[in-house]
Amino acid sequence: MAEGAAPDRPAPPGHPTLRQVAEAAGVSIKTASRALNDEPHVAPRTSERVRAAADALGYRRNLLARDLRTRSASTAVGMVIADAANPFYNGISLAAGATLAEAGMLLFLGFSDEDPALEARTVQGFLERRVAGLLVVSSRTEHPELRSAIQQGVPVVFLDRPARDLAVDQVLFDNIGGAISAIQHLLAQGHRRIGVIGDHGALPTHRERISGVRRALREASIEIDERLLLTDAQDAAGAEAALERLLASPDPPTAVFTTNNRMMVGALHACARRSSPPALIGFDDLELADVLGTSVVANSPEEMGRRGAAMLLERIGGLTDRPRRVRLPTHLVPHRSTATSVPRDAEA
């Protein structure tokens, strides 16, 4: 396996080491180390000579070696998100990355693609590289390697989805409250037959949102028609098909609630083909919600990322309080899609 050598330059191949810098500067390796790390007790002229040598060689400190010696990486945080293509998660990681950057730390992002095995591998990869902490949007219910990591002292913060098997800090949305506000909004427009298009039936966020739906309907004394609750659409295409089916049924809903932004995308596709689509509202903000005229229960993934990163930084700093759980609020943002009230009514 030939180390890829520089094509034609007279420059040395491979990464230059501190020793080479020291030799070039005519000092000991330790002095070179001191100079490059801004430690005290180095003569200005010596320091300058070392820096010049380092620049000339293209020296770059080896964090693998440094962190090995100083025990554990202190500057890198690993983050795992489920779906790289979902702007919601990207909002989270963006804000988390910015918050960490302010503290001089670097965020490494990995994807699980909703695949539990890949998530585990990714987390392992971070752990094996001795990250200072972990931010996790999990697609799993069990987290064996995280359990041991936590015991070993690695700070972990869960985002968006709760960890049932782990005692860790968590930042979640008020899923139940958000769903309730959506349903109440629909009820206020006179809707009585309300359909729901849900993602994975097993996803905790989803379950909470569905339970919010049930609660709101129950409190309004509306009998729940289970046939209107489609809770396993999986993705946008599934949501589209699910809504088509719902609307084609003999007694279709007059309004529909989607449990996240993916479901909403599918629903919008289904509705776009109809002259009189049902009222529509969805959990998660949508960038073009106003242009599309789509009502949403907005939340702030950025706030989630910020809070999560801040909590992780506290843990990395040594905080040992017992695990904290934060619930972030949601906000109802009505648009055209729920602006008209029901002309005819259905039942009860």
Contacting positions for DNA (CB under 7 A): 15, 17-19, 27-31, 33-34, 36-37, 40-43, 46-47, 59, 61-62, 65-66, 68-71
Which of DNA, a second copy, none does 269 bind, CB closer than 5 to 8 A by kind?
a second copy
Which of DNA, a second copy, none does 215 bind, CB closer than 5 to 8 A by kind?
none
Site for a second copy in 223-282 (CB under 8 A): 265, 268-269, 272
Nearer to DNA, 145 or 174 (CB): 145
Nearer to a second copy, 52 or 188 (CB): 52
Which of a second copy, DNA, none does 84 bind, CB closer than 5 to 8 A by kind?
a second copy
Nearer to a second copy, 180 or 281 (CB): 281
Which of a second copy, DNA, none does 290 bind, CB closer than 5 to 8 A by kind?
a second copy
Does the footprint of a second copy cover residue 124 (CB under 8 A)?
yes
In the complex, what is the shortest distance from the CB of residue 59 to DNA, in angstroms, rounded to a whole number? 7
In the complex, what is the shortest distance from the CB of residue 71 to a second copy, in angstroms, rounded to a whole number? 8
Site for a second copy in 302-321 (CB under 8 A): 315, 318, 320
Does the footprint of a second copy cover residue 36 (CB under 8 A)?
no
Strands 169-173 and 279-283: unpaired
Nearer to DNA, 30 or 273 (CB): 30
Nearer to DNA, 66 or 215 (CB): 66
Which of a second copy, DNA, none does 222 bind, CB closer than 5 to 8 A by kind?
none
Among 28, 37, 62, 341, binds a second copy (CB under 8 A): 62
